[in-house]
Amino acid sequence: MKAVILAGGLGRRLRPLTDDTPKPLLKVSGKPIIVRQIEWLKKHGIDEIIICAGYLREKIIKELGNGCKYDVKIGYVVEDQPLGTGGAIKNTEIFLKNEMGFYILNGDVLTNLDPNELRSIGEKYIGSIALVHLKSPYGIVEIRGEEIVRFREKPLIKEYWINAGIYYFKPQIFKYLPDRGDIEKETFPILAERGLLKAVKYENVFWKSIDTHKDLEEAEKYI
């Protein structure tokens, strides 16, 4: 089983840490984000990994090599200019077009969810998206009339689900991908309109996207 890790972003919101270190190599509890992702994939039987690398790619390649030290196979697809998530995935078509299916994940996501649950999509769907509950960025105040009855610190808002940045696709996805642009903006709206995407909901799992310094600190504390 193969997976693609999208690791080409600039990590602007994590500067100055990302001035000379690509975001996937930032460490959480002493280990780079992307190494934790590789170990997570391997745990779930996914041992062939394609890394879409752009910004400071030579450092990612030097750190990970061919994957033998992690007991996986790693290959690279590089982009000289940012192509967006959709364009980056399209670049992998030559390696994945003959697969029954494959995983895609953003290179800044840490989680313990089971990705194999994404594979049961039947004939109807082109792919599936892992969904997790939206977590409030703020503490909330519960009231009864004009009386404050409880404070809750950054609760999960269980009425809403968010894209966890982890996908499973059939090769048919490639005909919907832009040469340049983001899959979230260019592809998903079309597939959703045509009823070709399956929602796979995950509850009671750890999930964290590392976008800011605060995210990095929170992931460090959790792990």
Q: Which of 79, 66, 72, 88 is nearest to 167 (CA)?
A: 88
For the chain, the average pLDDT equals: 92
Q: Which of 80, 82, 69 is nearest to 42 (CA)?
A: 69
Structural Rg of the chain based on CA atoms: 18
Residue type at 192?
A: A
Question: In this predicted model, what pLDDT tens digit does every residue of 12-50 receive, in sequence order?
Answer: 888 897 888 899 999 998 999 999 999 999 999 999 999
Judge whether 154 counts as a catalytic residue.
yes
Q: 56 phi and psi, to 5 degrees?
A: 50, 40
**Residue 108: partners with Cβ closer than 8 Å, 6 or more residues away:** 9, 11, 23, 24, 33, 165, 209, 210, 211
Confidence of residue 135 (pLDDT cuts 50, 70, 90): confident
* Measured distance CA(22)–CA(18) in Å, rounded: 5
Q: What is the pLDDT of residue 50?
A: 96
Q: What is the pLDDT of residue 158?
A: 83
Q: Which of 87, 53, 96, 103 is nearest to 176 (CA)?
A: 87
Extents of the domains making up the chain: 2-130+162-222
The separation between CA 109 and the C-alpha centre of its own chain, rounded to angstroms, equals 5
CA quadruple 6, 12, 14, 16: dihedral sign = positive
**Residue 5: partners with Cβ closer than 8 Å, 6 or more residues away:** 24, 34, 37, 38, 49, 50, 51, 52, 105, 106, 107
The answer to whether residues 212 and 13 touch, using CB atoms and an 8 Å cutoff, is yes
Identify the active-site residue in 31, 73, 154, 201: 154
Percent of the chain with pLDDT over 90: 72
Question: In this predicted model, what pLDDT tens digit does every residue of 91-132 receive, in sequence order?
Answer: 999 999 999 999 999 999 999 999 999 999 989 999 999 999
Residue whose pair of structure tokens reads 């260019």 in the numeric block: 186
Neighbours of 82 (CB within 10 A): 14
**2-130+162-222 to CATH, choices 3.90.550.10, 3.40.1190.10, 3.30.70.120, 3.90.650.10:** 3.90.550.10
pTM, two decimals, is 0.90
The answer to whether residues 106 and 24 touch, using CB atoms and an 8 Å cutoff, is no
